[in-house]
Protein backbone atom coordinates (compact mmCIF):
# COMPACT_ATOMS: atom_id res chain seq x y z
CA UNK A 1 0.00 0.00 0.00
CA UNK A 2 1.30 3.44 -0.92
CA UNK A 3 2.23 5.78 1.95
CA UNK A 4 -0.17 8.66 2.67
CA UNK A 5 0.35 11.63 0.36
CA UNK A 6 1.04 14.71 2.52
CA UNK A 7 1.46 18.28 1.33
CA UNK A 8 3.50 20.49 3.64
CA UNK A 9 2.04 23.89 2.78
CA UNK A 10 4.90 26.15 1.74
CA UNK A 11 3.54 29.67 2.29
CA UNK A 12 6.77 31.17 3.60
CA UNK A 13 6.50 30.45 7.34
CA UNK A 14 7.52 27.42 9.37
CA UNK A 15 10.13 24.73 9.71
CA UNK A 16 9.11 23.25 6.40
CA UNK A 17 12.21 21.15 5.73
CA UNK A 18 12.16 19.66 9.23
CA UNK A 19 8.44 18.98 8.95
CA UNK A 20 8.91 17.30 5.57
CA UNK A 21 11.66 15.04 6.91
CA UNK A 22 9.60 14.19 10.00
CA UNK A 23 6.57 13.19 7.91
CA UNK A 24 8.79 10.93 5.82
CA UNK A 25 10.34 9.38 8.94
CA UNK A 26 6.83 8.74 10.25
CA UNK A 27 5.97 6.83 7.07
CA UNK A 28 4.32 9.43 4.85
CA UNK A 29 5.21 10.75 1.42
CA UNK A 30 5.77 14.50 1.81
CA UNK A 31 5.70 17.21 -0.84
CA UNK A 32 6.63 20.80 -0.04
CA UNK A 33 4.46 23.10 -2.16
CA UNK A 34 1.93 25.92 -2.16
CA UNK A 35 0.18 24.59 -5.27
CA UNK A 36 -3.55 24.89 -4.74
CA UNK A 37 -4.60 21.72 -6.53
CA UNK A 38 -1.95 19.60 -4.80
CA UNK A 39 -2.91 21.05 -1.42
CA UNK A 40 -6.58 20.25 -2.02
CA UNK A 41 -5.99 16.74 -3.40
CA UNK A 42 -3.45 15.44 -0.84
CA UNK A 43 -4.45 12.83 1.71
CA UNK A 44 -3.34 15.26 4.40
CA UNK A 45 -2.34 18.92 4.50
CA UNK A 46 0.25 20.03 7.08
CA UNK A 47 0.17 23.75 7.88
CA UNK A 48 3.33 24.88 9.73
CA UNK A 49 3.87 28.30 11.24
CA UNK A 50 6.68 30.21 12.92
CA UNK A 51 6.85 33.88 13.88
CA UNK A 52 4.16 36.50 14.31
CA UNK A 53 0.50 35.54 13.89
CA UNK A 54 -0.24 38.55 11.66
CA UNK A 55 2.69 37.79 9.36
CA UNK A 56 1.61 34.15 9.05
CA UNK A 57 -1.93 35.22 8.18
CA UNK A 58 -0.60 37.53 5.49
CA UNK A 59 1.55 34.74 4.10
CA UNK A 60 -1.40 32.36 4.10
CA UNK A 61 -3.57 34.92 2.33
CA UNK A 62 -0.97 35.48 -0.39
CA UNK A 63 -0.92 31.72 -1.02
CA UNK A 64 -4.75 31.41 -0.97
CA UNK A 65 -4.34 29.42 2.24
CA UNK A 66 -7.57 30.52 3.96
CA UNK A 67 -9.69 29.31 1.06
CA UNK A 68 -7.70 26.07 0.66
CA UNK A 69 -8.00 25.31 4.37
CA UNK A 70 -11.72 26.20 4.42
CA UNK A 71 -12.39 23.92 1.44
CA UNK A 72 -10.52 21.03 3.05
CA UNK A 73 -12.32 21.46 6.36
CA UNK A 74 -15.70 21.73 4.63
CA UNK A 75 -15.00 18.57 2.64
CA UNK A 76 -13.76 16.64 5.68
CA UNK A 77 -10.23 16.40 4.32
CA UNK A 78 -7.51 15.91 6.99
CA UNK A 79 -5.44 18.85 8.17
CA UNK A 80 -2.66 19.19 10.76
CA UNK A 81 -1.47 22.57 12.04
CA UNK A 82 1.80 23.11 13.92
CA UNK A 83 2.69 26.02 16.24
CA UNK A 84 1.27 29.19 14.64
CA UNK A 85 -0.41 26.70 12.29
CA UNK A 86 -2.55 25.84 15.33
CA UNK A 87 -3.10 29.45 16.35
CA UNK A 88 -4.43 30.59 12.97
CA UNK A 89 -7.23 28.01 13.22
CA UNK A 90 -8.77 30.08 16.04
CA UNK A 91 -10.86 33.25 15.84
CA UNK A 92 -8.14 35.86 16.25
CA UNK A 93 -4.93 36.96 17.92
CA UNK A 94 -4.20 39.95 20.16
CA UNK A 95 -0.46 39.44 19.79
CA UNK A 96 1.53 42.64 20.47
CA UNK A 97 -1.78 44.49 21.05
CA UNK A 98 -2.63 43.99 17.38
CA UNK A 99 -5.99 42.32 16.83
CA UNK A 100 -5.69 40.05 13.79
CA UNK A 101 -8.55 37.82 12.60
CA UNK A 102 -7.74 34.15 12.20
CA UNK A 103 -9.54 31.43 10.25
CA UNK A 104 -12.29 30.94 12.84
CA UNK A 105 -12.41 27.15 12.70
CA UNK A 106 -12.25 27.03 16.50
CA UNK A 107 -13.43 29.60 19.08
CA UNK A 108 -10.70 31.36 21.03
CA UNK A 109 -8.25 34.25 20.91
CA UNK A 110 -4.46 33.96 21.01
CA UNK A 111 -2.84 36.04 23.73
CA UNK A 112 0.42 36.35 25.66
CA UNK A 113 1.50 33.54 27.95
CA UNK A 114 0.85 34.26 31.61
CA UNK A 115 4.43 33.73 32.73
CA UNK A 116 7.19 36.24 33.56
CA UNK A 117 9.67 34.22 31.50
CA UNK A 118 8.99 34.08 27.77
CA UNK A 119 9.33 32.53 25.34
CA UNK A 120 8.25 29.15 26.61
CA UNK A 121 11.18 27.28 25.11
CA UNK A 122 12.03 23.67 25.73
CA UNK A 123 10.44 20.39 26.74
CA UNK A 124 7.19 20.11 28.64
CA UNK A 125 4.54 17.55 29.47
CA UNK A 126 0.92 17.82 28.38
CA UNK A 127 -2.43 16.88 29.85
CA UNK A 128 -3.94 14.69 27.15
CA UNK A 129 -7.64 14.99 26.40
CA UNK A 130 -9.92 11.97 26.66
CA UNK A 131 -10.43 10.39 23.26
CA UNK A 132 -7.22 11.73 21.75
CA UNK A 133 -5.89 9.77 18.82
CA UNK A 134 -2.78 11.89 18.30
CA UNK A 135 -1.28 10.94 21.65
CA UNK A 136 -1.79 7.18 21.59
CA UNK A 137 1.33 5.66 23.11
CA UNK A 138 2.96 9.02 23.90
CA UNK A 139 0.60 10.58 26.45
CA UNK A 140 3.31 10.54 29.12
CA UNK A 141 6.07 11.94 26.93
CA UNK A 142 7.52 15.45 26.71
CA UNK A 143 7.24 17.67 23.63
CA UNK A 144 9.24 20.65 22.42
CA UNK A 145 7.69 24.11 22.67
CA UNK A 146 8.94 27.51 21.54
CA UNK A 147 6.36 30.31 21.73
CA UNK A 148 5.36 33.43 23.64
CA UNK A 149 1.65 33.42 22.79
CA UNK A 150 -1.05 30.77 23.05
CA UNK A 151 -4.78 30.09 23.22
CA UNK A 152 -5.95 29.98 26.86
CA UNK A 153 -7.21 26.53 27.81
CA UNK A 154 -10.98 26.23 27.51
CA UNK A 155 -13.42 23.57 26.32
CA UNK A 156 -14.16 23.61 22.60
CA UNK A 157 -17.46 21.94 21.67
CA UNK A 158 -16.90 18.72 19.75
CA UNK A 159 -13.13 18.83 20.17
CA UNK A 160 -10.54 17.01 22.27
CA UNK A 161 -8.38 19.75 23.80
CA UNK A 162 -4.98 18.75 25.20
CA UNK A 163 -3.41 21.36 27.47
CA UNK A 164 -0.05 22.38 28.88
CA UNK A 165 0.81 24.54 31.88
CA UNK A 166 3.36 27.33 31.70
CA UNK A 167 2.17 29.85 34.23
CA UNK A 168 -1.44 29.22 33.27
CA UNK A 169 -2.91 26.46 31.10
CA UNK A 170 -3.04 26.85 27.35
CA UNK A 171 -4.09 24.76 24.36
CA UNK A 172 -1.24 22.38 23.51
CA UNK A 173 -3.21 20.41 20.90
CA UNK A 174 -6.71 20.17 19.51
CA UNK A 175 -8.48 17.40 17.59
CA UNK A 176 -11.91 17.70 16.01
CA UNK A 177 -13.02 15.39 13.22
CA UNK A 178 -10.42 15.61 10.48
CA UNK A 179 -8.76 18.75 11.88
CA UNK A 180 -5.88 18.48 14.33
CA UNK A 181 -3.14 20.83 15.48
CA UNK A 182 -0.34 21.14 18.03
CA UNK A 183 1.18 24.21 19.64
CA UNK A 184 4.44 22.31 20.15
CA UNK A 185 6.70 21.10 17.36
CA UNK A 186 6.41 17.35 16.67
CA UNK A 187 9.25 17.65 14.17
CA UNK A 188 11.54 18.81 17.02
CA UNK A 189 10.22 16.39 19.64
CA UNK A 190 12.31 13.33 18.91
CA UNK A 191 10.70 9.91 18.71
CA UNK A 192 7.65 11.08 20.66
CA UNK A 193 6.97 13.63 17.92
CA UNK A 194 7.53 11.08 15.18
CA UNK A 195 5.06 8.72 16.86
CA UNK A 196 2.51 11.51 17.12
CA UNK A 197 2.90 12.20 13.39
CA UNK A 198 2.62 8.46 12.73
CA UNK A 199 -0.61 8.44 14.73
CA UNK A 200 -1.92 11.27 12.58
CA UNK A 201 -0.96 9.47 9.37
CA UNK A 202 -2.81 6.39 10.65
CA UNK A 203 -6.03 8.43 10.85
CA UNK A 204 -5.96 9.35 7.18
Active site residues: 83, 185, 187
Torsion of CA 70, 75, 76, 82, to 10 degrees: -30
Of 45, 40, 48, nearest to 85 (Cα)?
Answer: 48
Sign of CA dihedral 19, 153, 203, 76: negative
- Residues 6 or more apart in contact with residue 14 via CB below 8 angstroms: 47, 48, 49, 50, 82, 83, 84, 85
Distance of alpha carbon 7 from alpha carbon 108, whole angstroms: 27
Do 189 and 144 contact (CB within 8 A), yes or no? yes
CA distance 53 to 171: 16
Residue among 193, 74, 109 at smallest CA distance from 143? 193
Amino acid sequence: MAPPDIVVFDYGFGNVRSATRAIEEAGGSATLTADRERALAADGLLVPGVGAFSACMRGLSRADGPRIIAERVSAGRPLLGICVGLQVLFDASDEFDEHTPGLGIFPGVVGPLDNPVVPHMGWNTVRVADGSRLFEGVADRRFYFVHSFAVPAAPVPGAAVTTCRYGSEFVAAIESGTVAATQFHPEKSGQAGIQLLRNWLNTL
